[in-house]
A and B are shown apart, each in its own frame.
Chain A
Amino acid sequence: MKDSEHLIRLAAVFAGGLLFFVVIRSFFVPSSFGLYGHYRADAIKDVAALQVVHAGHEACEGCHSDVADLKNKGKHAHVNCEACHGPQGQHANDPMSVKPPLPDPAKLCVTCHEANAAKPRSFPQIVAKDHAGDVACNTCHVPHNPRIGDAPAPAHSEVKK
């Protein structure tokens, strides 16, 4: 009789320990942990909730359909707006107060079109210095439809803006 008492005490200590563990665990382990695997499922929501910086070309085309139409007729049809104009999420959210700056063609065009041996041969490339000297690209080319003759030559007011 006395011997079994020892076992009961031991069992009580274990039960108490287990209860303590379960209580602490439920307190510290987030409820979403283990929902899909060995991780906190709510972390997916955290990542998904981050701020969108690039608006996406669909958002641009909603208002700037005239530019989109011009662009879609030319060689730059597959170049999305933000590839040249940079991220415009803020402008898309608040078009009136956030005005995007006009890109500088002197820096912008050569980003893609300056000749480099590693570029695919079929990609149109120029050595800017030999091609036009210091003349700005948009003196002759309309950036949204760049092949000469495909679009009306840029008006001077447009170039200077």
Chain B
Amino acid sequence: MITRRKMLMLTGAAALAWDSVLAGTPENAPNYRMTDHWWGMLIDITKCIGCGNCVRACAKENNVPEGFFRTWVERYEVPDWEIQDPRVDSPNGGKDGFPPSKSGTTVKSFFVPKLCNHCADSPCVQVCPVGATFVSPDGVVLVDEKYCLGCRYCIQACPYGCRFLHPERETAQKCTLCYHRITKGLTTACCEECPTGARQLADLKNPADPIHEFLRTHSVQILKPQMATGSKGFYYGLDGSVR
């Protein structure tokens, strides 16, 4: 015979159990639940000064080999109306900053920071033959180094050129959105070092994240929307010439 008292106790226990079912098993940090997050990034072109802090920060945080980049900065120079034919340069990925431009102020010029867009329907994930790359339950595209064969399919598949083959490990590498940091409540290394706030880590599942207010009130674009990648790299102030 179930009394009212027993029934109430049981429902309480069931609610707790269901909570842990929803949370998923791997607990990366004691208070981090993958199901509570859906990560992306906001990039404000109008604030980027091309200092290269993000590139250097990323290289140090993630031990990125020299000459390869998990994030980089491009300088665009658009002569007047020729927006289909911009001049783009990125000396050493912008790691050492940018020399003064030859055209000066006679052309439209601006910096575009780039990194993995952590696509929800990522082409790189779809082509991996061994399940070594995947979208995690919290929306980060990661590589399983133990499974990666180094076949380079994903490097060719990424429409944004965000992947490279590590010259020594011979596995595909890419931006992890500093997964080892964001699961501990920190922001990414590039956001931490960005002096102007041109980069903002965004948790799209967190209703208190300022990203929602920003997306509601600003004209925001993603790169190559025609590829239908479900990109979560949101660009504010993006010029039409950017590819």
Contact = CB atoms under 8 A, between A and B. Distances in A.
Given A83-B53, A111-B97, A120-B46, A39 B195 contact: no
The size class of the interface chain B forms with chain A is 35 or more
B77 to A, nearest CB: 7
A116 interface: yes
Contacts of A116: 49-50, 98, 100-101
A25 interface: no
Given A40-B147, A80-B193, A48 B137 contact: no
A19 interface: no
Nearest to B61: A53
Interface stretch (B15-23, B103-111, B208-216, B223-231): B103-111
Contacts of A39: 131-134, 144, 147
A83 B181 CA distance: 17
Contacts of A40: 131, 144, 146-147
A56 B195 contact: no
B197 A78 contact: yes
B75 to A, nearest CB: 5
A79 interface: yes
Interface string A110-145: 011011111110010000000000000000000000
A54 interface: yes
A37 B122 CA distance: 14
A79 B57 CA distance: 14
A45 interface: yes
Nearest to A111: B51
Contacts of A26: none
Contacts of A61: none
B136 A117 contact: no
Interface in A22-51: 32-33, 35-51
A146 B131 CA distance: 51
Contacts of A82: 57, 192-193
Interface string B48-85: 11111100010011100000000000011100000000
Interface of A is mostly: loop
A84 B192 CA distance: 11
Interface residues of A, number: 42
A85 B189 CA distance: 13
A155 B24 CA distance: 56
B93 to A, nearest CB: 15
Contact of B144 (A46, A48, A53, A118): A46
B157 interface: no
Contacts of B49: 112, 116, 119-120, 123
A9 B143 CA distance: 45
Q: Which of B24, B104, B105, B134 has the most CB of A within 10 A?
A: B134
Nearest to B190: A54
Contact of B75 (A41, A118, A120): A118
B105 A38 contact: no
Contacts of B116: none
Nearest to B188: A54
Nearest to B24: A36
Interface of A: 32-33, 35-54, 56-57, 78-80, 82-84, 86-87, 111-112, 114-120, 123
Given A44-B28, A48-B183, 6 more contacts: A52-B180, A54-B61, A79-B195, A82-B192, A83-B192, A87-B189
7 contacts: A43-B143, A43-B144, A47-B176, A52-B180, A54-B186, A54-B192, A112-B195
